[in-house]
């Protein structure tokens, strides 16, 4: 009876695990790293918003140019008087009259308008830099989501290996218990370890699926998207490891990073620094043009006009040419306030540029240290993983021979699972460190 009960419990446990596994949907699409970055840049709504910002800046430039170019306006006026005006039986002013005129005008001297046109041109460049920085942020977010999938898949694999090992141990404990060489307690302990590992596998699978959904959102896809390959983040200071390591040595964790100097072209490569520089230059240009608000403007105006019906003292068709000089004399401190506002904007842009430069240099230094530290940590984790697997093998052999207990086997399996997960975490840490350093020096995305 006890044997049949244990077998039935095992069957129920495995059926429940299969049912839980079937509940986790699989992604319908798998993409490479480069494809994911390109699709995110092209399809993500943030890129569309940035493109709209460029269109808006270009539209403002068209408006500024139009204000400094010739303009033509037409006017039609109908006039109805209470009664017509007559003089000695002749209608001097008719009761109903229609007047049509055209207004041709062009600025001959307009420093303020010309300054606004130049500022609009620089604003377009700022919008382009902003769009480039938005694409960088989108690419980085996509790369981060991609790496999360790789790391979580590695955790799933580690938990599945631990579960399979626990199942093998349970089968052995169950077999020994049936032969009378084991105990029900050992079988229950092994069964409990299988149940625990099954739960961890399901949790890891759900976390993996959530990461795949997050990548799908970044790619503007209406479904989960899986990561296809592991990206190789090659740094300028990488040195390829020797192809044949010594016997028993820990496998190398990819290229060895030997450090690099602070890039001299940091301000040209990083889009955020280029954007901050362009914003500072635009603010300085706007402030410098504040003096042009005091300059006069000269405008040429030509106005042909026709009236129907013709009036007695006014010809039916006439025209006039004007030169109109506008001189701002007293505006109650308005221009002084505008200049103060522009000065404040310049001070803010300078502070933002300085802060961005300090942050960028700090990210480069921290990125170098993070890569070197992550490589050392990964080497240690892989060595510990190899040692933990050897412990599991030795304890299993010892348990079969009756030289160790069931508790020692379970402890060795748990330790191996934890170390295997630690390797996955260390690998993810190294990948992220390399990605962060490439981003810090302006080499990602290309």
- pLDDT(54) > 60: yes
Rg of the chain over Cα atoms, rounded to whole angstroms, equals 38
Cβ atoms of 193 and 406 closer than 8 Å: no
- For the stretch 279-304, pLDDT in tens is 999 999 999 999 999 999 999 999 99
pTM of the model: 0.84
Residue 66 to residue 114: CA distance in whole angstroms: 11
Q: How many CB atoms lie within 10 A of CB 321?
A: 10
Of 50-59, 255-264, 265-274, 346-355, the poorest mean pLDDT is in: 255-264
Q: Is 279 exposed, middle or buried (0-12, 13-18, 19+ CB in 10 A)?
A: buried
3 state SS of 319:
strand
High-pLDDT (> 90) share of the chain, %: 73
Q: What is the rounded distance in angstroms from the CA atom of residue 140 to the CA atom of residue 188?
A: 48
Q: What is the percent of the chain where pLDDT is above 70?
A: 91
Is the Cβ–Cβ distance between 58 and 235 less than 8 Å? no
- Least confident range of 107-116, 193-202, 403-412: 403-412
Cα–Cα distance list, 73 to 60, 104, 128, 353, 355 (Å): 21, 7, 34, 45, 49
Contact by Cβ (8 Å): 329, 357: no
Write down the mean pLDDT value for the chain: 89
Please tell me the predicted confidence (pLDDT) of residue 313. Answer: 73
Average pLDDT of the residues in 61-90? 90
Task: Examine the pLDDT at 21 and tell me if it is beyond 60.
Answer: no
Comparing 30-34, 242-246, 384-388, 406-410, the range with the smallest average pLDDT is 242-246
Classify residue 23 by its DSSP letter: H
Domain range list for the chain:
2-68+110-241+250-294+334-440
Place 4 in a pLDDT band, splitting at 50, 70 and 90: very low
Between CA 104 and CA 321 the distance in angstroms is 9
Please give the average per-residue pLDDT across 391-395, as a whole number.
Answer: 93
Least confident range from 33-47, 80-94, 147-161, 238-252: namely 238-252
pLDDT at position 39: 96
Task: Say if CB 195 and CB 244 are below 8 A apart.
Answer: no
Domain 2-68+110-241+250-294+334-440: top CATH class: mainly alpha
């Amino acid at each position: 009876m006890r044997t049949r009960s244990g077998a039935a419990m095992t069957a129920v446990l495995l059926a429940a695990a299969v049912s839980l596994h079937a509940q986790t949907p699989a992604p319908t699409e798998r993409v490479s790293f480069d494809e994911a970055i390109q699709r995110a840049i092209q399809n993500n709504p943030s890129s569309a918003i940035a493109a709209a910002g460029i269109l808006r800046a270009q539209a403002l430039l068209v408006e500024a140019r139009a204000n400094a170019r010739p303009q033509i306006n037409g006017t039609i006026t109908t006039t109805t008087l209470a009664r017509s005006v007559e003089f000695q039986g002749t209608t001097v002013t008719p009761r109903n009259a229609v007047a049509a005129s055209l207004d041709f005008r062009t600025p001959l001297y307009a420093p303020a308008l010309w300054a606004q046109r130049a500022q609009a041109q620089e604003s377009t460049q700022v919008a382009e830099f902003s769009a480039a920085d938005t694409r960088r942020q989108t690419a980085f977010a996509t790369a981060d989501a991609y790496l999360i999938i790789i790391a979580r898949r590695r955790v799933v694999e580690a938990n599945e290996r631990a579960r399979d090992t626990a199942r093998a141990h349970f089968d052995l404990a169950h077999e020994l218990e049936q032969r009378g060489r084991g105990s029900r307690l050992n079988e229950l302990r092994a069964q409990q370890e299988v149940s625990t590992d099954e739960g961890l596998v399901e949790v890891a699978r759900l976390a993996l699926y959530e990461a795949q959904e997050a990548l799908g959102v970044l790619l503007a896809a209406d479904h989960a998207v899986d990561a296809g390959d592991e990206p190789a983040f090659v740094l300028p200071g990488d040195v390829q490891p020797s192809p044949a390591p010594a016997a028993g040595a820990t496998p190398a964790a990819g290229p060895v990073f030997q450090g690099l100097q602070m890039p001299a072209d940091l301000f040209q490569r990083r889009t955020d620094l280029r954007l901050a520089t362009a914003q500072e230059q635009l603010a300085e240009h706007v402030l410098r043009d504040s003096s042009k608000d005091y300059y006069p403007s000269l405008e040429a105006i030509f106005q042909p006009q026709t009236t129907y019906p013709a009036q007695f003292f006014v010809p039916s068709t006439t025209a006039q040419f004007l030169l109109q000089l506008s001189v701002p004399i007293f505006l109650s401190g308005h221009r002084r306030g505008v200049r103060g506002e522009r000065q404040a904007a310049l001070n803010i842009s300078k502070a933002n540029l300085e802060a961005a430069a300090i942050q960028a240099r700090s990210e480069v230094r921290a990125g170098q240290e993070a890569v070197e530290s992550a490589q050392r940590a990964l080497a240690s984790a892989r060595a510990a993983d190899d040692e933990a697997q050897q412990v599991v093998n030795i304890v299993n052999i010892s348990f079969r021979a009756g030289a160790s207990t069931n508790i020692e086997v379970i402890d060795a399996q748990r330790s191996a699972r934890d170390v295997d997960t630690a390797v996955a975490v260390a690998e993810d840490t190294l990948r992220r460190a390399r990605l962060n350093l490439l981003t810090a020096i302006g080499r990602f995305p290309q």
